[in-house]
Every structure is written in C-alpha cells, then in structure tokens.
Amino acid sequence: MSQHFLQSAAAKTLSLAQVFRMSDADTETMFRKIRWPETNGAPVCPHCGGSNGYECRRPNGSLRFRCRACVKDFTVTSGTLFASHKLPLRGYLAAIAIFCNEVKGKNALALSRDLGISYKAAFVLLHKLREAMAEEMKGRVVGGEGKTAEVDGGYFGGYRKPANFVENRVDRRLARHQTGKRKIVVIVRERSGNSVPAVFKSEAQAMSFIRARVAKGTVVNADEATSWDGLHGHFEMKRINHEQAYSMDGACTNWAEEFFSRIRRAEIGHHHHIAGVYLLRYAQEATWREDNRRMSNGDQVARLTGLALSRKPSVDFAGYWQRHLAS
Ligand SMILES: [Zn+2]
C-alpha cells in the first residue's frame, strides 16, 4: 500500500523537539539567513540599506547590530512583522512550527498554553502569521489557457441560537430572523495550482473579484447556484448539479470543497468563531494551508518565517492591545 505523504519522512523535516534543542546561536543563524538571504545572513541595515553592520549585543545578550554608515541600531526583526519582538527568537520559531504542524489551525488559547505566553500575545502573534500568509495572495491571478479553476462559496457567522422553549423558536431561514452578520467566503482555486479567497455579503457580489483573479482562457467549474450564471459571458463554464452527482463529465468543485472542509474544521474544532472582521484572515490561512499541504513542515516553517521577515510591521496588529484597551 502506498504511503500517504503526511506519513512519510519527507513530510516531517522539523519537529518542535528539534526547535527546543536548537542553541541561541543556531536560532540566530537561521533567522539571519532567512531575513538576509542575498548576503547569506550578513546584516543589512533597514535604515540606510548599508551592508556594513557589526554585532553590538544588548546588555542582556540579545542580538543587535549597529550600522557603520548611519550609526543606527537594528535587530534581525527590525522593520518586519516581528519588529519590537518580546519573545526570544526561539519562541517565534516554536510558534511557527506549532502553527504549521496543526494543519487545520491553532487557536490562541492553546498556543498561549503551549508557549507560556498571554492569550493576547498569542492572539496577536497568530494574526501576524495570517498576515504573512496573505502576502502571497496579493494580486494573485490563477488559471490561464488550458487550465481549470473552481469557484464556490460558503457561509460563515450570523448564528442565532434557537430559543429554549419550542414555542419561542423562530424560523431562522427567514431573512427577518437573521442577524445580518452572515458573510460568504468565496474561493477561486486552480486545479493542481494556487487559490485566492475573498469575503462578501453574497455570492453575486463576487463577480468582479472572480473576473479579476481568474485569467482569461480558464475553464471555470461551479455548482448550479444561479449566482454564478454571470460568469458564462467571461469563461468557458462547466456546471455540476450536486443534487445529481459530485462529479460528472469532468465537472466538479471538489478542490473548492476541500478548502471549505479545512476551514469548517478550523471553525468548529479550533476557533469556534471565525466570522466578523477577521474572516478574510482565516480564509487566507486555510488557503495557504491548502496550497502548501504537500510541502514538508520544515519548508513550511522556513517559508512562513521568510514571509513574516519580508513583510513590514503589521498595520492591524502593531500595538493592537494598547489601542484596544485605551479605546
Ligand atoms: Zn544604516
């Protein structure tokens, strides 16, 4: 019997045990090589771009550099998503390893228990990792001539708990009994390729997004929902009626369904609530996990660390709790 990829040795190249066995020097070298790949880890000043920095550690021993050109100090995380970091570097590496190993998602409370950090610190750190993942999807266009893509939508949020007594219960399917908070995640997914998610109030609102993110000449698969009818003028379409079959004459949305399977499990099993302002971030996380699912966990950690270290400080989350507690 052939072995599943995730069970193979090739899938498991970095364990949490290895991360914790790494010395401070090992961790520093790893971060330096990921931050400054073009100089093989030699520091490049984020203030002036000079490559004439030297090690000038803080009194507590933590790694810091000083630029000979502009005489400013910087660290391996200055000017990145992990700027002004509070945890030791190994803590970030451990967080990223835990986050990648937990293939459906990781919630902030569990991470705070794993790493002995506050819930707030874990919440912000996880959202920064989602921001880093989203970086890869900026402006991404999928498909092309001879390629096939799938489009589908799934609803999240707006749950209304049924009343205790049956006589007080209402028909939750009716618009007037809904909270108005329900949103739809739309995924466009190239078969054997990459994906892009977006969040809308309804499937019909997704038309211009799909046209912008799916290249001309792509064969687009969708289910029978009338909201996708508008795509026929732009793409060669294959429609599948799920009341008849999940796959017929080459038409199916199974790749898109895989994405929803993963994000649903993240919602139900890990986060319990992913709707609201950060729904897109959770969708981007599930997309990244889907698209990189056949990559070894060591490569995933290196890739995500690289994304975090090449991204500017977080717009949403730098000083998040300071702002939120003040208001
Ligand atoms: Zn400088």
Predicted confidence pLDDT, tens digits, the chain (327 residues): 678 888 888 888 888 999 999 999 999 999 999 999 999 999 999 999 999 999 999 998 999 999 999 999 999 999 999 988 788 899 999 999 999 999 999 999 999 999 999 999 999 999 999 999 999 999 999 999 999 999 999 999 877 788 899 998 888 777 777 777 889 999 999 999 999 999 999 888 999 999 999 999 999 999 999 999 999 999 999 999 988 888 888 899 999 999 999 999 999 888 888 878 899 999 999 999 999 999 999 999 999 999 999 988 887 777 777 777 654
Q: What is the reported pLDDT for 1?
A: 60
Measure Cα distances from 173 to 159, 160, 166, 169, 212 in Å.
Answer: 11, 10, 16, 12, 32
Q: What is the reported pLDDT for 326?
A: 55
Ligand 1 centre from 96 Cα, in Å? 29
CA distance linking residue 159 with residue 154, whole number of Å: 14
Ligand 1 centre from 68 Cα, in Å? 7
Asked if 112 and 99 touch (Cβ cutoff 8 Å), the reply is no
Ligand 1 centre from 85 Cα, in Å? 20
Ligand 1 centre from 44 Cα, in Å? 8
Ligand 1 centre from 73 Cα, in Å? 8
Residue that has been written with the tokens 């599948």 in this structure: 240
CA distance linking residue 170 with residue 163, whole number of Å: 8
pTM flag (> 0.75):
yes
Ligand 1 centre from 82 Cα, in Å? 19
For residue 220, give the nearest of 248, 233, 239 by alpha carbon. 239
Ligand 1 centre from 41 Cα, in Å? 16
Ligand 1 centre from 75 Cα, in Å? 12
